[in-house]
Amino acid sequence: MTMRAIRGAVQVTANTPEAIGAGVKELIQAMMRSNSLTPSDVISVFFTSTPDLTAAFPAAACREIGFESVPLIGAVEVDVPGALDKTVRVMMHCTTTFSQEKISHIYLHGAQSLRRDIAQ
């Protein structure tokens, strides 16, 4: 097993607990599925949110889908003029047998524009 970092991002529909929670769950589940992971494979997850997302902590939604024992932390993304709004970014550290080239980084909804080179 090797430690790898997996990136992801999702643009949510609104600054509400429901929209943030749904977006985080969709993103984390897609990251897990695409990389054949279970929560026990995950070492830690780092979330950032754009400054316009204040209604909920992304980590709280992650805990609801089986990450109770995984260290999670969040921060506010740099407020760059013209940057994509309502966006949650993730860096997940995990153990895997996948090579760096096999890791699938996930960008959903409007966040696909952040990494057109690797977005689904």
The 10s digit of each residue's pLDDT in 9-60 is: 999 999 999 999 999 999 999 999 999 999 999 999 999 999 999 999 999 9
Give domain status of residue 46, yes or no: yes
Give domain status of residue 120, yes or no: no
Structure confidence at residue 113 (pLDDT):
83
Structure confidence at residue 112 (pLDDT):
85
Give domain status of residue 69, yes or no: yes
Assessment of whether the complete model's pTM goes beyond 0.75: yes
Give domain status of residue 62, yes or no: yes
Reported as a pLDDT band with limits 50, 70 and 90, residue 120 is low
CATH number where 25 lies = 3.30.1330.40
Mean pLDDT computed over every residue of the chain = 94
Reported as a pLDDT band with limits 50, 70 and 90, residue 115 is low
Range of the domain at 75: 2-114
Give domain status of residue 50, yes or no: yes
**Count of domains observed in the chain:** 1
Give domain status of residue 119, yes or no: no
Which contacts (CB < 8 Å, 24+ apart) does range 96-105 have?
A: 96/1, 96/2, 96/4, 96/35, 96/36, 96/37, 96/41, 97/1, 97/2, 98/2, 98/4, 98/35, 98/36, 100/4, 103/4, 103/6, 103/35, 104/6, 104/31, 104/34, 104/35, 105/6, 105/7, 105/8
Mean per-residue pLDDT for 51-80? 96
